[in-house]
Chain A
Amino acid sequence: MTNPTNIGRRTILKGGAIGTLYMAAGLPVLAVADFPKIEKAPLEFVQISSALLGIDASDLLRQVAPDNHSMADEYYSIIYHGCRSGLNKMIAKYRKVSRRLSPQQIGNLFLRADSSQPNAGIRQDEIGTAARLSMQMWLFGIWYGGTEMNHNPESISAIPKKYQNDFVLSSRAYKEGWIWRFAQSHPMGYSQLKFGHWAEPPPALQSYMPGTQLN
């Protein structure tokens, strides 16, 4: 595994509340010193993410976020530096098609090699790479640059060397991963649910994404 500058095995936490969060993944956490300058996420990035994930943009980008920290900005900042060409092409494409395609169709367009064929396989160009990497950040709080290259060797040209590996963006990104909400659950050591919640059925999925139309 190629590591970005300043990140080595020593940054992997092996104990404590934070350490256990990452043991399963075995991934390093990006140091603040290595974090790129925060870029303000354009609305199109949030809308594309909404189409890819099936979650309403109002749930992804709430008006008021804890500590005024925008996860959209955090993810956008990473992909802006980690796959800029793919990101720009994806946004440009979105602007062309967003008025005539549904979110489902946009998702298929960015993820499938042939959006008209359900078994067409993954889209392997820069747009496909950017789409997958964006989704995975929202879902897991992890940049999967290394995994992307392993499964899609063509993506090597889309991802600069510093981002050609997998790492956790931040503990906040890990905790805020949508995968936990899809599971109506929470990561170890972090929960917005109260003591004793395990004795009750989990909250309804709709409660986790009040702005999203669920089927």
Chain B
Amino acid sequence: MSLTRMLKTSTLIVLMSLSLTQPTLAANPHKGCTSAKPKDFNCLPNGDIDYVNTQKTYDHLSRAYADFAWNDFLALNFPAKEVAPGQYLPEPSDQYGLNYNQGSYRSVWQTYIEDQDLFQPELPEFGTPSQIPAICQQTHGKTTPKVASAYMQANRMGPVADIDKNYVRFNVVFNRKMYDYVKARRLNTAAGQEAITQSLEWPSGRYADQPELDDAGAIMIKASWKILTAKDTKEDFHHIKSYVYTKKDYPIPGVEESCALETLGLIGLHIVHRSNSAPQWVWSTFEHRDNAPWMSDIKRADGRPENKRYHLFDSALCQGQIGSADCPFNRIPDHPWNPGTEPLKTGALDVKTWGSQIVRTAAPGKAALAANHAARKALKRGLGKTVWENYFLVNVQFPTLTIPHGNDPHEINPAYPIGLPSTTFLINSSMESFIQGFTTGDATTNGNKIPDSDLMLTTGGKGDKVDPWNVRGPHTRTGGANRNTSSCVGCHADASMVNGIDSGFVFSVESVLKHQDKHQNKQQRSKYTSQGSKSKP
């Protein structure tokens, strides 16, 4: 036998022996996922609830959507599969589970594309890390691919300052399905959007007994992060290393460009998922347990909050009854909204100057309480202690009026395009901090009492403090004023492309205008508004 032939044969033998020892990934690609997850949840997001087999009562449907939200939460927060050092796929790891590394890891959703990367003229490949600003690389080297910069809440409501006087940071990501939809239609450009003449119909997920990877439909996520300090116990959070970047002169002139390398703790997560039964999407939101005190607990304790460390409320600064001049709450920080400004950096304890003192106006929803209880039980049973036991579902918003077609795509009733959502109002205290709805004692600007039926209240569970995991505990009785109190779908229904045509509840499509020449922007805006039809003023 020649040397060449021997080498070929031995190579073949080595290759064959390797194939015998590899796990049979083709047969069960998520084997590790299966063994490391809580028993009752999938490692992959399901496409939808099982609408056909869910009883058509409010209690059953709201519970089904709450469980659906929890499955999404755990599946999307699963450790992502690392295929090479620092290279991750948007699928669950087959080595690690939700109890990995005390909550510090790259999760599946963190491999999704960020909004500032998706809606720019040169569309990167899905999975390409965000560009690291030069100042970050110069100051800290190429330490992490993650960049957190945004600190303005939706609709430019303002930033929210945490107890350590840092602004909470946000980021928005989109899954592969959404990326592909954008790419196929060139929605990352104004020209591409202008060519679209009908409302966008993002991919919709369908229920499956065994969900498949990448088959869940469109999913978009918004996260809120706290910069962790020595006073925080980082193992209480899902946490990552990230640059915290502040852009020059944004959102106001005078903001200096800066970059810090920080450990960020997850304090809030919106998961928005389009499904066959919910053409208006399913909107769920999760919070960390220690974000803020509950208004009902404060009122029960004669108007003073419990003296403990919250992320967004400093009990030491509350020197009087809640709502008095000595204990304001839910305050938008004074201008300038500049994270580098005094007294934020000096730590001057003047709540009247820097805000925010966030209080939660209402408890989680009734179905959310039950789903939280079930999820925490499953986590503890399956995995013991994890950071995920510190997170709870606030509530989930789903349409109550569509034209149903079993587990196939439901049609939108043209008289109810928003779908008569329930819960009517939905808030995350870290992301819609200042539009949480009215509470007892609130008045209009003219000093008149808000009607009782419009108050966001905590009800039930007499005598009990709010506990997001207590099935029989106090829960929310939703109330508010439309266009005034936060409603995910109510606000997102206004989303349109640059040509004014409905963008299917996705606001970020408009951001293509940011990447164009300012002069061209002005011209384009004039062009669209002069058309006079659905354009915004």
**Known A171-B451, A171-B454, A195-B534: A64·B496 in contact at CB below 8 Å:** no
Nearest-CB distance from B404 to chain A (Å)? 10
Report the separation of the CA atoms of residues A195 and B493 in the bound assembly, to the nearest whole angstrom: 7
**Known A32-B452, A170-B453, A192-B416: A66·B422 in contact at CB below 8 Å:** yes
**Known A66-B422, A181-B415, A194-B502: A18·B450 in contact at CB below 8 Å:** yes
Q: Cβ of B59: which chain A residues have Cβ within 8 Å of it?
A: 68
Q: Cβ of A175: which chain B residues have Cβ within 8 Å of it?
A: 482
Please encode chain B, from 441 to 463, with 1 for each CB lying within 8 Å of some chain A CB and 0 for all others: 00011101111111100000000
Give the contact stretch, choosing among A114-122, A124-132, A196-204: A196-204
Nearest-CB distance from A142 to chain B (Å)? 14
Q: Cβ of B452: which chain A residues have Cβ within 8 Å of it?
A: 31-33, 35
Q: Cβ of A68: which chain B residues have Cβ within 8 Å of it?
A: 58-59, 62, 422
User: Using a CB-CB cutoff of 8 Å, which residues 403-427 of chain B contact chain A?
Assistant: 403, 413-424
Please encode chain A, from 28 to 66, with 1 for each CB lying within 8 Å of some chain B CB and 0 for all others: 011111010000000000000000000000000011111
Report the separation of the CA atoms of residues A15 and B62 in the bound assembly, to the nearest whole angstrom: 35
Report the separation of the CA atoms of residues A195 and B448 in the bound assembly, to the nearest whole angstrom: 30
A210 within 8 A of B: yes
- A196 contact from B415, B423, B496, Cβ within 8 A: B496
Residues A66 and B450 in contact, CB atoms below 8 Å apart: no
**Chain A interface, DSSP helix/strand/loop, else mixed:** loop
B261 within 8 A of A: no
Q: Cβ of A191: which chain B residues have Cβ within 8 Å of it?
A: 482
B346 within 8 A of A: no
Residues A32 and B453 in contact, CB atoms below 8 Å apart: yes
Report the separation of the CA atoms of residues A18 and B483 in the bound assembly, to the nearest whole angstrom: 10
User: Using a CB-CB cutoff of 8 Å, which residues 472-498 of chain B contact chain A?
Assistant: 478, 481-484, 493-496
Q: Cβ of B418: which chain A residues have Cβ within 8 Å of it?
A: 192-194
Report the separation of the CA atoms of residues A213 and B449 in the bound assembly, to the nearest whole angstrom: 42
Residues B454 and A66 in contact, CB atoms below 8 Å apart: no
Q: Cβ of A63: which chain B residues have Cβ within 8 Å of it?
A: 56-57
Q: Cβ of B416: which chain A residues have Cβ within 8 Å of it?
A: 192, 207
Residue from A13, A30, A66 with most neighbouring chain B CB atoms (10 Å): A66
Interface size class of B (residues with CB under 8 A): 35 or more
Q: Cβ of A189: which chain B residues have Cβ within 8 Å of it?
A: 481-483
A11 within 8 A of B: yes
Q: Cβ of A149: which chain B residues have Cβ within 8 Å of it?
A: none
Residues B533 and A13 in contact, CB atoms below 8 Å apart: no
Nearest-CB distance from A125 to chain B (Å)? 32
Nearest-CB distance from B507 to chain A (Å)? 11
The size of the chain A interface, using a CB distance under 8 A, is 44
Report the separation of the CA atoms of residues A203 and B493 in the bound assembly, to the nearest whole angstrom: 17
- B451 contact from A14, A31, A196, Cβ within 8 A: A31
Nearest-CB distance from B361 to chain A (Å)? 16
B59 to chain A: closest residue by CB: A68
A11 to chain B: closest residue by CB: B449
Report the separation of the CA atoms of residues A199 and B403 in the bound assembly, to the nearest whole angstrom: 24
Report the separation of the CA atoms of residues A14 and B59 in the bound assembly, to the nearest whole angstrom: 37
A63 to chain B: closest residue by CB: B56
**Known A67-B424, A199-B534: A29·B444 in contact at CB below 8 Å:** no
A153 within 8 A of B: no
- A15 contact from B444, B482, B483, Cβ within 8 A: B444
**Known A15-B446, A68-B422, A192-B416: A62·B400 in contact at CB below 8 Å:** yes
- B444 contact from A16, A32, A62, A192, Cβ within 8 A: A16
B495 to chain A: closest residue by CB: A195
Residue from A33, A64, A191, A208 with most neighbouring chain B CB atoms (10 Å): A64
B536 within 8 A of A: yes
B494 to chain A: closest residue by CB: A195
A205 to chain B: closest residue by CB: B415
Residues B533 and A199 in contact, CB atoms below 8 Å apart: yes
**Known A68-B422, A195-B536: A11·B413 in contact at CB below 8 Å:** no
User: Using a CB-CB cutoff of 8 Å, which residues 56-109 of chain B contact chain A?
Assistant: 56-59, 61-62
Nearest-CB distance from B340 to chain A (Å)? 36
A19 within 8 A of B: yes
Residues B483 and A170 in contact, CB atoms below 8 Å apart: no
Nearest-CB distance from A95 to chain B (Å)? 27
B496 to chain A: closest residue by CB: A195
Residues B534 and A204 in contact, CB atoms below 8 Å apart: no
Report the separation of the CA atoms of residues A75 and B411 in the bound assembly, to the nearest whole angstrom: 30
Report the separation of the CA atoms of residues A213 and B76 in the bound assembly, to the nearest whole angstrom: 46
Please encode chain A, from 161 to 183, with 1 for each CB lying within 8 Å of some chain B CB and 0 for all others: 00000000011100100000100
Q: Cβ of B58: which chain A residues have Cβ within 8 Å of it?
A: 64-65, 68
Residues B453 and A17 in contact, CB atoms below 8 Å apart: no
Report the separation of the CA atoms of residues A16 and B415 in the bound assembly, to the nearest whole angstrom: 27
B397 to chain A: closest residue by CB: A66
A100 within 8 A of B: no
A12 within 8 A of B: yes
Q: Cβ of B328: which chain A residues have Cβ within 8 Å of it?
A: none
B500 within 8 A of A: yes
Residues B482 and A13 in contact, CB atoms below 8 Å apart: no
Report the separation of the CA atoms of residues A16 and B483 in the bound assembly, to the nearest whole angstrom: 11
A99 within 8 A of B: no
**Known A64-B58, A65-B400, A195-B534: A13·B414 in contact at CB below 8 Å:** no
**Known A18-B450, A181-B415, A193-B417: A67·B500 in contact at CB below 8 Å:** no
- B417 contact from A18, A192, A199, Cβ within 8 A: A192
Nearest-CB distance from B60 to chain A (Å)? 9
Nearest-CB distance from B502 to chain A (Å)? 6
Report the separation of the CA atoms of residues A192 and B424 in the bound assembly, to the nearest whole angstrom: 11
B123 within 8 A of A: no
Residues B534 and A207 in contact, CB atoms below 8 Å apart: no
Report the separation of the CA atoms of residues A77 and B238 in the bound assembly, to the nearest whole angstrom: 48
**Known A31-B452, A196-B533, A210-B413: A17·B483 in contact at CB below 8 Å:** yes
Residues A67 and B478 in contact, CB atoms below 8 Å apart: yes
Report the separation of the CA atoms of residues A78 and B57 in the bound assembly, to the nearest whole angstrom: 24
Q: Cβ of A196: which chain B residues have Cβ within 8 Å of it?
A: 496, 500, 502, 533-535
B132 within 8 A of A: no
- Name 27 A/B residue pairs within 8 A (Cβ), A-sorted: A10-B449, A14-B444, A15-B445, A15-B446, A16-B444, A17-B481, A17-B484, A31-B452, A32-B453, A62-B401, A65-B400, A66-B400, A66-B422, A67-B422, A68-B62, A68-B422, A171-B481, A190-B483, A191-B482, A194-B417, A195-B496, A196-B496, A196-B533, A197-B417, A199-B534, A203-B415, A204-B414
Interface of A toward B, CB cutoff 8 Å = 10-19, 29-33, 35, 62-68, 170-172, 175, 181, 184, 189-197, 199, 203-204, 207-208, 210
Q: A181-B415, A196-B496 are in contact. List 16 more A-B contacts (CB 8 A).
A: A12-B448, A16-B444, A16-B445, A17-B483, A17-B484, A64-B58, A65-B58, A66-B422, A67-B422, A194-B502, A195-B494, A195-B495, A196-B500, A204-B415, A207-B413, A210-B413
